[in-house]
Amino acid sequence: MDIVEFFQLSNGKWFSQRSNLATKASPGGRSDLYIEALSATDPVVIQLCEQNNVDPSQALCGVRIRWDGSMELEQKKYSGSTVMVPISSSSQTNEGTLLRASGSTEVAVTSRYMMGTDDALTLITESESLYAEERVWFASPNLRLRTRILRQPNGVNIASFCSEIRMGVTKPAEN
């Protein structure tokens, strides 16, 4: 499986439950995820490429993710969105750069992605203040699992595990 297929298989509405494994100071939560695979020619994909000075013809596809959720121990709701666009680093589409823009902010984040031989997607984001590694895979067509490790220079580490159950399916984006 390549990243385009992975995003297409992720299309739909998902119920996500997160458990944080490192500390009680960071409670788990629940959310509804809305994942929409985008074609490489979608205006949102082209715009994100142009904002990052990347030739839009290098985009393999895109994905828009929206979430609405709540945290345990809090009555506070949260929501947000992100768009991600994979740019292959070679003729193979199993690894490369992932452009990401969240919500209404103009700040884009660049990560590395790798599709493993086990069909798991690994995303690595590094900066001076944070190292994040996320791994997402399908246990079945309607069950995704996700792990995330955050490491900060001050020694604080947070690990989380999510199970995501598909609640509905939308038609994959046309290529």
Render pLDDT for 42-86 as a digit per residue (tens, 0 to 9): 999 999 999 999 999 999 999 999 999 887 766 678 889 999 999
pLDDT per residue over 134-166, tens digit each? Answer: 999 999 999 999 999 998 888 878 889 999 999
Rounded-to-integer distance, Cα 38 and Cα 54, Å:
17
What pLDDT was estimated at residue 50? 93
The answer to whether domain 3-168 has CATH 2.40.128.20 is yes
What pLDDT was estimated at residue 157? 84
Q: Give yes or no for residue 111 having a pLDDT over 60.
A: yes
* Residue 72 burial (10 A CB sphere; 0-12, 13-18, 19+): middle
What pLDDT was estimated at residue 27? 66
Rounded-to-integer distance, Cα 69 and Cα 77, Å:
6
Rounded-to-integer distance, Cα 166 and Cα 164, Å:
7
Q: Give yes or no for residue 17 having a pLDDT over 90.
A: yes
130 pLDDT band (50/70/90 cuts)? confident
| 15: number of Cβ within 10 Å | 14
